[in-house]
Amino acid sequence: MQTVKLFECATHEWIVFGRDPDKGEKIVDTNQYLIKTAREAVLLDPGGIELFSSMLASVVHYLPVEQITHLFASHQDPDIISSLGLWDKTLPHATLHAPWIWEGFLRHYGCNNITYKPIADEGGTFKMDGIELDFIPAHYMHSSGNFSVYDPVSKILFSGDVGGGLNGADDPLFVEDFDKHIKQIKTFHQRWMPSERAKQAWLNRVRKLDIDLLCPQHGAIYQGKDIERFLDWLEDLEVGTALRLS
């Protein structure tokens, strides 16, 4: 599994884990993100059950597993959080931050020890060991209860499925050819994002942020001018087009 440090300062670091060559051929490739301080850490969308052993082996290169005090699930999909039952046994002291609407569903994955802390629809601020992260509402992008995460210090936006694509394990971790990349993710966004109104609400929130890296849970990471290019592209894209198939 590739691991890349995205940001480091005196208070915290961002690390991405992805492009697992050992995943099954039919398994969707995903990106997992770790934010660590001197004493604590949070895993953003820690991945599916099939990824747990690879994730655990990768994470312990950066910190003792006991230092992971928080998990975050942007929504309920299995590629994001079906590993919860195994993390529940590994991190019984941890807290899971996830949309309130999905608690009864996420507990099916196993949540007997970890504390479930529901996120209200309007989002909010998450504080950990001196740093603050913002939970940005991203409802219906694509899940009915969904959040992005913004770090104002690193200027990193974890966007969940927004901006993502179904890339392979050999694809680059950062967008290198925007025009080529955008063609690869067009169908994904048209099919998985159901609402023009929700899309515009998310864009209105995100355009107010100062972003250096836009980090999706699938596919490649956007940086520099490609961030604004992606936001402009998404604004012009008609979503919810799968209705035409019926």
Domain CATH number, residue 40: 3.60.15.10
- Give a yes or no: residue 246 inside a domain: no
- Give a yes or no: residue 213 inside a domain: yes
- Give a yes or no: residue 199 inside a domain: yes
| Tens-digit pLDDT string for the chain (246 aa) | 889 999 999 999 999 998 877 766 777 889 999 999 999 999 999 999 999 999 999 999 999 999 999 999 999 999 999 999 999 999 999 999 999 999 999 999 999 999 999 999 999 999 999 999 999 999 999 999 999 999 999 999 999 999 998 766 678 899 999 999 999 999 999 999 999 999 999 999 999 999 999 999 999 999 999 999 999 999 999 999 876 654
- Give a yes or no: residue 22 inside a domain: yes
- Give a yes or no: residue 113 inside a domain: yes
Question: Contact 19/2 with Cβ under 8 angstroms?
Answer: yes
142 preceded by a cis bond (ω within 30 of 0): yes
- Give a yes or no: residue 245 inside a domain: no
Q: Name the domain count of the chain.
A: 1
Provide the pLDDT for residue 245: 53
Provide the pLDDT for residue 165: 83
Question: Contact 130/108 with Cβ under 8 angstroms?
Answer: no
Other C-beta atoms lying within 10 Å of the C-beta of residue 112? 9
Q: pTM, whole model, 2 decimals? A: 0.95
- Give a yes or no: residue 195 inside a domain: yes
Domain holding 136, by residue range, is: 2-240
